[in-house]
Structure 1
Amino acid sequence: MTSILTNSSAMSALATLRNINTDLANTQDRVSSGYRVGEAADNVAYWSISTTMNSDNKALNSAKDALGVGAAKVDTAYAAVESSIEVVNEIKAKLVTASETSTDKDQIQLEITKLQEQLSAVAQAASFSGENWAISGSNTGTSGTVVDGFIREDSGSVKITTAEVTLASIAMFSTLSADGAGEGGILGTVMDIELTSGSSQTDIDGFMDDVETALSSLTDAGAVLGALTTRIDLQDDFASTLSDAIESGVSRLVDADMEEESAKLSALQTQQQLAVQSLSIANSSSQNILSLFQ
């Protein structure tokens, strides 16, 4: 039966066209944005996971940037330790020279004094971004810290991880005197060396013991800083790898397969044209009834 009030064919064709237009709009959106899951309505679970992981990845990248600051602090402290070892070795050589009875110990002391001043200058210069690990008294805490990571635990809580080093074990000096001379710390006894014309070999041997102890402590400090540098480098590499892995994992969840979407877009455009043609044919069927009244 043909009715001029209800055109079932046209209604069916129109419903098909609407569905095709909806699918076409979704596909075009995926092609233009590159996302298969661009908002929560697309896939609640995947959207939730990707949003959380993208946030964590940004935090991880920030921690990676902080590693650069930490590495600079460690490198600065290590440079100070390395330079101090060279200066202390020079003081050691002067003391060996002073062991010769014919030498002028007062003149040698003048050289040692300049080397002691150099040690103080090195310690004062070993500052990065207002933090000086070479002088423990300039820090409010007892540990030097370096941010090295960001962790999301199984419980869902997050935390920042840090690498720490005890400043007292690496600090060249504890404090600086009013005139800028270093006091206490690893090099405190070296700063107390003072030769005079009346200094005996026993005095010189005592100074040599102080120098050897200081060199041993400086070597240990350099080892601590070197190990921390190695950890920072490893953590930096790991953070880069982890960030790439997170980004790749999120991509698998939410990124659109452009080859698939491109093929789907072409197919839907063809279906749209056919649906429009079908609707046109269905609408024209009512007009054919006019021929029955001619």
Structure 2
Amino acid sequence: MTSLLTNNAAMTALTTLKNINQQLDTTSNRVSTGQRVSAASDNAAYWSIATTVRTDNASLGAVKDSLGLGSSSVDTAYNGLNSILSDLQNMRSKLQTALSPGVDRTKVQTEIAAIQSKMKATADSSNSSGQNWLSVNSATTNTAYQATQNVVGGFARTANGTITFSQVSVDVQNIKLYDTNSTSVTTAASAAQFVGSTALTGTTGFRPGAAAGTAGTADFSTTNEVSFNLALTQNNNAIPPVPTTVTANIVLNKTSLQSAAKDLTKVTTDEFLDAVNNQITAKIGANKAIASLDSAGRLTFQSVGSGSDVALTLTNVAASSGNTLIDVGFTATVPSSGSNASGNGTAAGTMPAQGILDTAGNTYANTGLGSYSIANLDISKLVGTKGDLDLQAVITAVDKAIAKVTDAGTKLGANKTQIDGQKAFVDTLMKANDRTIGILVDADVEEESTKLKALQTQQQLAVQSLSIANSASQNILSLFR
């Protein structure tokens, strides 16, 4: 039926045209942007994931930049050390020449003074991004000085959204060559500590070669047991203080772990540590000692207190009747005497603040001319038999300085290797993230282009259909002519 009031054909053609135009807009946007998900409305889940990965990549980019700056600083310091090492070797040769009879040591000293000046200039100019690790000022008034320089080496996001950064540490205190601060530095007392020989998850007790799901966990459901005596020695509160020892028998088996582990056949390292620390607290006291894992995953025991009066000792003891001792990094056998592991704290002390080359740690013992450092040694007054003896000691001191500078270069080389390796990993990770983003949001341009042509053809047909539908009323009017 044909109606003058309602044009069903035109309405259908118009709806079709609108749908085609909407699809055409979407496809055109995908072709022009190259993305099939460019807004949250396109696909909320994919857009959210891609946005988070892009944010992580931005952080990784900052980490990569930090590693680049760190690598440059390490290279600068290493090149300075290498140059100064050659100077020290040259200085030693000059000093050995000065031992020869008839050599004018005053003239040799002129050459040595030139080498000393060159070494100081090299160290002072070893700057990178405002950082100088060879020539420093460690005075407490210099707030810019850091004994340990940390280079951001990694970025991670935990399951709960917490951001953590790993760092590559460069020990400036032990590689510095010159330090304008001549005041001794106070060193803090250390805690008593000892560390297992093997990563906890690599011990036989924690099944390193087991099948997936059980590797790295221990089975305490049957007769396996860990049993040892942990002794803590420290001064009491008496006046004067008296060293006292408290010994606790730490036992971990299916009975003691019943409430600490979810599954006794697969006790995790976290559950194991919690159980150990609970027994230490119960049997020795709170805030006395703690068990943890070091950076290599080895079981570590450390006292909370510090000082030379603090000591920790671990001694394996026999397992309970019917049970079998298992190894968790400390040999699981009962010793006939002595202990399996122990550690002592150290007292607070002082150490020279100056560097390898300007620390006056040597003396002209035979001529009585006082103390000297590698940076200011003077052989012009070392004459006679006593002078020869002191010159030999000077050569030995320079040789020791060469060994220390070589050791500093080794440490910087290890830092450089670590930084470069981390930089390569971060670069690979960023590329992997880019691929992840592409999988989620990138459009298939070939497919979308083909679809665009098809929609353009459908649009033309829909327009023609609408034109035909709209002409129906005109055909009705022609009947009245």
Could you say whether these structures have the same fold, taking a TM-score greater than 0.5 normalized by the shorter chain as the test? yes
Identity of paired residues, percent?
Answer: 45
Does 2:380 align with 1:193?
no
SS at match of 1:191: coil
CA contact (8 A) 2:382 2:388 kept: no
Does 2:420 align with 1:233?
yes
CA contact (8 A) 2:78 2:409 kept: yes
SS at match of 2:121: helix
CA distance in 2, matches of 1:65, 1:130: 16
- Superposed, 1:176-191 pairs within 5 Å as 184-188=354-358, 189-191=373-375
Give the drift of 1:291. Answer: 4.7
CA contact (8 A) 1:47 1:254 kept: yes
Give the drift of 1:244. Answer: 1.4
CA distance in 2, matches of 1:293, 1:89: 118
- Superposed, 1:1-294 pairs within 5 Å as 1-137=1-137, 140-175=145-180, 184-188=354-358, 189-195=373-379, 196-198=381-383, 199-293=386-480
CA contact (8 A) 2:98 2:108 kept: yes
CA distance in 1, matches of 2:456, 2:465: 14
CA distance in 2, matches of 1:110, 1:194: 9
Give CA deviations for 1:130-174 in whole Å, capped at 9, x if unaligned.
Answer: 211002425521112223333323322223432111111111122
CA contact (8 A) 2:382 2:390 kept: no
CA contact (8 A) 1:145 1:165 kept: yes
CA contact (8 A) 1:104 1:197 kept: no
Give the drift of 1:287. Answer: 2.9
Give CA deviations for 1:214-234 in whole Å, capped at 9, x if unaligned.
Answer: 111111111111111112222
Q: Do the aligned partners of residues 170 and 206 (structure 1) sit closer, same or farther apart at CA in structure 2, a change above 3 Å counting?
A: same
- Greater shift after overlay, 259-268 or 195-204? 195-204
Give the drift of 1:110. Answer: 2.1
CA distance in 2, matches of 1:197, 1:106: 9
Give the drift of 1:108. Answer: 1.8
Which blocks of at least 5 consecutive residues in structure 1 are unaligned? Answer: 178-182
- Greater shift after overlay, 8-17 or 235-244? 235-244
Counterpart amino acid of residue 156 in structure 1: G
Give CA deviations for 1:6-62 in whole Å, capped at 9, x if unaligned.
Answer: 122221111111111111111111111111111111111111112222222122222
Counterpart amino acid of residue 242 in structure 1: L
Which blocks of at least 5 consecutive residues in structure 2 are unaligned? Answer: 139-143, 183-352, 359-372
Give the drift of 1:127. Answer: 1.4
SS at match of 2:30: helix
CA contact (8 A) 1:109 1:194 kept: yes
Give the drift of 1:283. Answer: 2.0
TM-score by length of 1: 0.91
SS at match of 2:153: strand
Let me know the Cα RMSD of the aligned residues.
Answer: 2.0
The structure in which a higher percent of residues are strand is: 2
Give CA deviations for 1:164-189 in whole Å, capped at 9, x if unaligned.
Answer: 11111111122278xxxxx9311123
CA contact (8 A) 1:106 1:197 kept: no
Counterpart amino acid of residue 286 in structure 1: S
SS at match of 2:155: strand
CA distance in 2, matches of 1:176, 1:78: 22
Give CA deviations for 1:45-100 in whole Å, capped at 9, x if unaligned.
Answer: 11111222222212222222222221221111111110111111111112211222
